[in-house]
Amino acid sequence: MIDETSEQIRKRFLELNVDIELPEIERRLSDLTERFKVPIAEAERSVVSYFLRERKIKREDYYGTPQGAASSTRIADINQSEQWINLRAKVVQLWDSTSPAIDQVGLIGDETGTIKFVKWTKSNLPELVEGKSYSLENMTTDEWEGRFSVKMNRTTRIQELDEEVETQDREAQLMQIDDINQSGQWINLRAKVTQLWESEHESIDQIGLIGDETGTIKFVKWAKSELAPLEEGKSYSFENLVTDEFEERFSVKFNNGSSIKELDEDIETPDREAHLITIDDINQSGQWINLHAKVVQLWESEHESIDQVGLVGDETGTIKFVKWAKSELPALVEGKSYSFENLTTDEFEERFSVKFNKGSSIEELDEDIEVGFSATEFTGAMVHIQDGSGLIRRCPICNRALMKGTCMEHGNVDGIHDLRIKAVLDDGTMVQEALFNREITESVSGITLEEAKEMAVDALDQSVVLDEMKKRLLGRYYTMSGSILDRYMLVENVQLVEGVPDNGVDALLAEVT
Amino acid sequence: MASFAREVAYRIFARELSDTTVALERDPDDAYAPQYVLTPTGAKVNRVFVIGTLTEKEDIGTDTEYWRARISDPTGAFFMYAGQYQPDATRALTEASVPEFLAVVGKVSVYTTEDGRVMTSIRPETISVVDALVRDRWVLETSRQTLDRIKELEEGNCENLSMIEENYSMDLEQYRQMVASALESMQ
């Protein structure tokens, strides 16, 4: 087989006036088929590619295949990424570019729909003007989280059209919050501002919740839209908002075309009588509840708007909680049991959490609530290592991991170095997230805390530790055991699983043949 | 309700993935629904974990790095593309050499070429260099899970049975043979 294939490769190269020695071809082929167990057809392809590159020959000259061209399409028909396409479309909206690499970004539309576009600064393309229609040739499609976009690149041709491309109608309709079930719709609402949250980004002017008789919904008001500020507790008539969706939750966005008018009447928002329930009964978001629970863990807050975050537990299980800085509630202490009233439930990625707000109350209990845990074992491949892993620094007072050298609670402190890994293991049928503490991290990565510190000092960058851990751990199989807390296994034991069990191959072969 | 928990990484041999031609329609009311492909043995796949030999790599990008790579297992080859939005994978491909065992986690997509062929490719999230022992375990595990899927499908236990019957030959024996030859390559 190898002899034959080698001869063919040599012959084809000779036709292109390139003389490659037969043993050289054979050696490369057999290395791939024997040591790397690659099928012969794949090995042939690989070896040909190698010599094409080495001898600077074009792939088309060897294989003789032509290149494809972009095809003309309509926006609603875009359902794949990495396609080369042409569109005739109107620039519906231009947004603020979020990066110097992006020259222009926004929405283009045709008769069938709208789609986001990105025009790279590097591509040196002419300026697009809002409201004008263009022929856009040689763009590529892209996808992120299930949404498509088109990218304009150096080879894209932009030509303004004399005629106007019709875009889909966007006449806003008065709706009730409960009826919002689509993103990208233009709507009007009559609603009360029930909560204002801290904006997490300077591009966002205001963010929070508005509500009407049927429910509440998150809103986002861009700084750019230059609209009058909203006040908590006041009712308004809102026109020309756009609905959006993220992770199955809807929100409404204000834009340049939106209008806000204060109402004299007070819009009623849904009733919210809280009931005492147990944690395993929490199966809906947006509910008002009371809990008797113990604070099992306090995690480091990832944002200054969050005062405390962690896990609370009762006899039936544990659940994540979030306490906003704004709600000005007393601090919770790890290990203490409390009666909590007027929390709201929330859901993200099918996991529930409870949120404290201004109306919540916290009262310490004398009793000690016993929390239900369970120990388990899991074997799988490490498919991901999350941010916040590797060499980190913790606050010497409260032990939280520091963010950019700062403790959320105690400000600028002289942090203490630590190692940890937040890993995701996957066995092909199930996913398990896992927390490795310093001891487990050292043993599994073979990097001690001292070595990690030296690596960081040498590189002037502590992310080198995480990079090295990824190199050593990702793609390998491990068996780990520990207790399950919320999404995470707190790992007490972990072992590398290498090779295959004796007889494993034969036993399986017997099943097939 | 659709699940937004992390998608499981399926174990699929290259031959089965390259035979895959069906992309399931997304829920039209849910712009964030993940894209799934339906493989001939009935796996509904968004993410895969594969281990194989890097047999080709080429930077086909113009403005920025954009890598195209082939990873071969005992049954065929996986195709993958990585660019600026996959910084970890792109860096790993830049450093990787041909041939070398790579473990890859990534998302699968099905697309049609200009000449009408239906192809699958992987958009890698993480790539790491592993050794033959890890690769062996993957081949065994993928054999096991492929045989399990074949058995379930033969018993009619598959939520997308009618779609598989419509789109694939249902000659499941060929996939048993594929598993057998993969296992034999390890002896």
What does the alpha-carbon distance between residue A352 and residue A396 come to, in Å, rounded to a whole number? 31
Predicted confidence band at A171 (pLDDT cuts at 50, 70, 90)? Answer: low
Confidence check: pLDDT of B2 > 70: no
Nearest residue to B160 (alpha-carbon basis) of B48, B10, B37 = B37
B18: amino acid identity, one letter: S
Q: Highest mean pLDDT range out of B48-52, B62-66, B109-113?
A: B48-52
Nearest residue to B65 (alpha-carbon basis) of B84, B92, B93 = B84
pLDDT in tens, A488-507: 899 989 999 988 887 889 98
SS3 A200: coil
Cβ-Cβ contacts under 8 Å, A143 against chain B:
35, 109
Cβ-Cβ contacts under 8 Å, A183 against chain B:
31
Cβ-Cβ contacts under 8 Å, A386 against chain B:
none
Q: Last residue of a domain, which of A364, A388, A411? A: A364
Confidence check: pLDDT of A467 > 50: yes
Facing residue for A477 by CB, picked from B111, B129, B137: B137
Give me A1's structure tokens: 């087989």
Alpha carbon of B137: minimum distance to chain A alpha carbons (Å): 5
Cβ-Cβ contacts under 8 Å, A156 against chain B:
none
Cβ-Cβ contacts under 8 Å, B26 against chain A:
146
Residue A510 lies in a domain: no
Superfamily designation of domain B9-184: Nucleic acid-binding proteins (2.40.50.140)
Report the range of poorest mean pLDDT among A78-92, A201-215, A314-328, A347-361: A347-361
Confidence check: pLDDT of A287 > 90: no
Tokens 């904006």 label which residue?
A199
Q: A379 - beta bridge partners?
A: A479
Predicted confidence band at A155 (pLDDT cuts at 50, 70, 90)? Answer: confident
pLDDT in tens, A383-398: 999 988 999 999 998 8
Q: Write down the mean pLDDT value for chain B.
A: 90
pLDDT at A271: 61
Facing residue for A512 by CB, picked from B62, B125, B147: B147
Q: Among B10, B25, B45, B55, which would you mutate to test the A interface (most chain A Cβ atoms within 10 Å of its Cβ)? A: B55
Check whether residue A394 and residue A436 sit in a common domain: yes
Check whether residue A39 and residue A129 sit in a common domain: no
Cβ-Cβ contacts under 8 Å, A245 against chain B:
30-32
Quick check: A47 and A32 in contact, CB under 8 A?
Answer: yes
pLDDT at B183: 94
What does the alpha-carbon distance between residue A318 and residue A437 come to, in Å, rounded to a whole number? 20
Residue-level length of chain A: 513
Facing residue for B133 by CB, picked from A383, A499, A505: A499
Nearest residue to A130 (alpha-carbon basis) of A158, A170, A157, A90 = A90
Confidence check: pLDDT of A443 > 90: yes
Return the percent helix, strand and coil in chain A, to nearest 5: 20, 40, 35
Check whether residue A381 and residue A487 sit in a common domain: yes
Residue A503 lies in a domain: no
Confidence check: pLDDT of A66 > 60: no
Say if the Cβ atoms of A475 and B185 lie within 8 Å: no
Say whether the peptide bond before residue B99 is cis (omega within 30 degrees of 0): yes
Residue of chain A minimizing CA distance to B75: A39
SS3 A89: strand
What does the alpha-carbon distance between residue A94 and residue A224 come to, in Å, rounded to a whole number? 12
Alpha carbon of A419: minimum distance to chain B alpha carbons (Å): 21
Neighbours of A5 (CB within 10 A): 19
Q: Is A57 exposed, middle or buried (0-12, 13-18, 19+ CB in 10 A)?
A: middle
Confidence check: pLDDT of B14 > 90: yes
How many separate domains does chain A show?
5
Check whether residue A178 and residue A156 sit in a common domain: no
Check whether residue A449 and residue A484 sit in a common domain: yes
Residue A369 lies in a domain: no
Residue of chain B minimizing CA distance to A44: B55
DSSP letters, A148-164, are EEEEE-TT-EEEE-SSP
Range A68-83 average pLDDT: 78
Give me A451's structure tokens: 């070595």
Alpha carbon of A247: minimum distance to chain B alpha carbons (Å): 7
Confidence check: pLDDT of B87 > 60: yes
Say if the Cβ atoms of A508 and B70 lie within 8 Å: no
Burial A354-386 (b: 16+ CB within 10 A, else e): bbbbeebebeeeeeebebeeeeeebebbbbbbe
Alpha carbon of B165: minimum distance to chain A alpha carbons (Å): 23
Facing residue for A183 by CB, picked from B9, B10, B31: B31
Give me A334's structure tokens: 């790890």
Check whether residue A190 and residue A301 sit in a common domain: no
Say if the Cβ atoms of B121 and A71 lie within 8 Å: no
Q: Last residue of a domain, which of A126, A160, A194? A: A160
Facing residue for A505 by CB, picked from B8, B75, B183: B183
Cβ-Cβ contacts under 8 Å, A80 against chain B:
23, 109-112
Q: Which domain covers residue A316, as residue numbers?
A: 275-364
Q: Is A255 exposed, middle or buried (0-12, 13-18, 19+ CB in 10 A)?
A: middle
Higher pLDDT, A246 or A21: A21
pLDDT at A272: 64
Say if the Cβ atoms of B147 and A248 lie within 8 Å: no
pLDDT at A169: 62
Facing residue for A475 by CB, picked from B3, B6, B103: B103
What does the alpha-carbon distance between residue B73 and residue B13 come to, in Å, rounded to a whole number? 7
Check whether residue A106 and residue A42 sit in a common domain: no
Say if the Cβ atoms of B58 and A349 lie within 8 Å: no
Residue A108 lies in a domain: yes
Rounded-to-10 torsion of CA A323, A325, A327, A333: 50
Confidence check: pLDDT of A65 > 50: no
What does the alpha-carbon distance between residue A354 and residue A331 come to, in Å, rounded to a whole number? 16
Q: Among B6, B58, B107, B108, which would you mutate to test the A interface (most chain A Cβ atoms within 10 Å of its Cβ)? A: B6
Check whether residue A470 and residue A380 sit in a common domain: yes
Quick check: B93 and B67 in contact, CB under 8 A?
Answer: yes
Nearest residue to A391 (alpha-carbon basis) of A458, A444, A451 = A451
Say if the Cβ atoms of B58 and A147 lie within 8 Å: no
Say if the Cβ atoms of A145 and B32 lie within 8 Å: yes
What does the alpha-carbon distance between residue A226 and residue A236 come to, in Å, rounded to a whole number? 17
Say if the Cβ atoms of A428 and B179 lie within 8 Å: no
pLDDT in tens, A326-368: 878 899 998 899 999 989 888 776 678 899 987 789 999 999 9
Quick check: A441 and A382 in contact, CB under 8 A?
Answer: no
What does the alpha-carbon distance between residue A193 and residue A203 come to, in Å, rounded to a whole number? 20
Cβ-Cβ contacts under 8 Å, A384 against chain B:
105, 125-126
Give the domain CATH number at A86.
Answer: 2.40.50.140
Q: A385 - beta bridge partners?
A: A423
Higher pLDDT, A334 or A380: A380
Predicted confidence band at A120 (pLDDT cuts at 50, 70, 90)? Answer: confident
Residue of chain B minimizing CA distance to A505: B183
Residue A335 lies in a domain: yes
Could you tell me what percent of chain B has a pLDDT over 90?
Answer: 67
Say if the Cβ atoms of A181 and B29 lie within 8 Å: yes
Neighbours of A30 (CB within 10 A): 14
Check whether residue A98 and residue A188 sit in a common domain: no
Tokens 């590797």 label which residue?
A390
Cβ partners under 8 Å of residue B105, min gap 6: A383, A384, A474, A475, B9, B47, B48, B49, B124, B125, B126
pLDDT at A464: 95
Say if the Cβ atoms of A505 and B187 lie within 8 Å: yes
Could you tell me what percent of chain A has a pLDDT over 90?
Answer: 38
Quick check: B48 and B30 in contact, CB under 8 A?
Answer: no
Check whether residue A456 and residue A384 sit in a common domain: yes
Residue of chain B minimizing CA distance to A67: B114
SS3 for A261-312, per residue? EECCCCCCCCCCCCEECCHHHCCCCCCEEEEEEEEEEEECCCCCCEEEEEEE
Facing residue for B31 by CB, picked from A32, A147, A428: A147
The β-bridge relationship of strands B22-23 and A411-412 is unpaired
Cβ-Cβ contacts under 8 Å, B56 against chain A:
45-46, 49
Say if the Cβ atoms of A37 and B53 lie within 8 Å: yes
Burial B78-92 (b: 16+ CB within 10 A, else e): bbbbbbeebebbbeb
Check whether residue A489 and residue A402 sit in a common domain: yes
Give me A294's structure tokens: 């113990």
Confidence check: pLDDT of A473 > 60: yes
pLDDT at B1: 31
Give me B88's structure tokens: 């970890």
Quick check: B61 and B11 in contact, CB under 8 A?
Answer: no
SS3 B127: strand
Say if the Cβ atoms of A513 and B180 lie within 8 Å: yes
A504-512 vs B132-154: helix crossing angle, rounded to 10 = 30
A-to-B residue pairs, Cβ atoms closer than 8 angstroms: 200
Q: Last residue of a domain, which of A262, A289, A324? A: A262
Q: What kind and span of H or E run contains A481?
A: strand A477-485
Check whether residue A76 and residue A149 sit in a common domain: yes
**C-alpha distances out from residue A486 to A310, A351, A353, Å:** 10, 9, 10
Confidence check: pLDDT of A203 > 90: no
What does the alpha-carbon distance between residue A322 and residue A348 come to, in Å, rounded to a whole number? 13
Residue of chain B minimizing CA distance to A180: B29
pLDDT at B5: 75
- ∠ CA A409-A412-A414, rounded to 5°: 110
Q: Write down the mean pLDDT value for chain A.
A: 87
Asked whether the ipTM of the predicted complex exceeds the cut of 0.85, the reply is yes
Cβ partners under 8 Å of residue A27, min gap 6: none
Residue A355 lies in a domain: yes
What does the alpha-carbon distance between residue A95 and residue A116 come to, in Å, rounded to a whole number? 10
pLDDT in tens, B128-155: 999 999 999 999 999 999 999 999 999 8
What does the alpha-carbon distance between residue B61 and residue A153 come to, in Å, rounded to a whole number? 11
